[in-house]
Homo-oligomer: A and B are copies of this chain.
């Protein structure tokens, strides 16, 4: 059950940049190493999943998590999306983190700092009940390590109603822009403010349910400080 094993990011696993994952625009920002890809995936709770069916091309936000060299999603068996993806539909999954606005000396050199990852491929269903359960527990671990043991675990009916899919993180490419403004030589005399306005994902103070009487677990205490 390789899909349930938490392995360290394997930086030596080569991605396979294909024609469609070879970055052409600002190619110096391209990254094709697994460590970069895994870090971008692990920092995300949601990916954007593009696929086409008889009604057109769609882009759906989906909760996601990574185990080893695969990205996972889950949904109800009844979901039209899951039924369609189980047919081996080609998909493109993209995750983007915005890190800041880059204010340059000229309008056209304004930019953004970001980390993005694109993955092409096809999903495969996690078939065995044991593997499915282990994967959904891994997702819970992503939300809060240790939480699975405190809550009512899924019952047979709930697991049976859930489809878990995974896609190999192989045909993939990342793009990362960081650092300050890059201006034209002729603009260096500008008197405008130049720099980066950083943006980050912030964890705010936990909001306990009004009916919650439980002591605050460590992962909740640590949330806003993390």
Contacts and interface: CB of A to CB of B under 8 A. Distances in A.
A96 B48 contact: yes
A10 interface: no
A88 interface: no
A225 interface: no
A143 B207 contact: no
A106 B193 contact: no
A23 to B, nearest CB: 11
- Copies of this chain: 2
Contacts of A193: 150, 208, 212, 214-217, 220
A92 B58 contact: yes
A148 B106 CA distance: 9
Interface stretch (A1-9, A30-38, A49-57, A123-131): A49-57
Contact of A209 (B59, B181, B204): B181
Contacts of A75: 25
Contacts of A188: 211
Given A19-B55, A56-B20, A140-B107, A206 B199 contact: no
A220 B153 CA distance: 48
Given A112-B46, A204-B198, A212-B195, A154 B90 contact: no
Contacts of A192: 147, 150-152, 214
B90 A57 contact: yes
A105 interface: yes
Interface size class of A (residues with CB under 8 A): 35 or more
Contacts of A70: none
Interface of A: 19-20, 24-25, 45-46, 48-52, 55-61, 63, 75-76, 79-80, 90-94, 96, 98, 100-101, 103-108, 110, 112, 114, 116, 118, 120, 136, 140, 143-144, 147-148, 150-154, 158, 162, 180-181, 187-188, 190-217, 220, 223
30 contacts: A20-B55, A20-B56, A25-B79, A46-B98, A46-B112, A48-B50, A48-B94, A48-B96, A56-B90, A58-B92, A59-B92, A63-B112, A98-B201, A101-B143, A103-B143, A103-B147, A104-B151, A144-B197, A150-B191, A150-B192, A152-B190, A180-B207, A193-B208, A194-B208, A195-B209, A196-B207, A198-B204, A199-B201, A199-B204, A200-B201
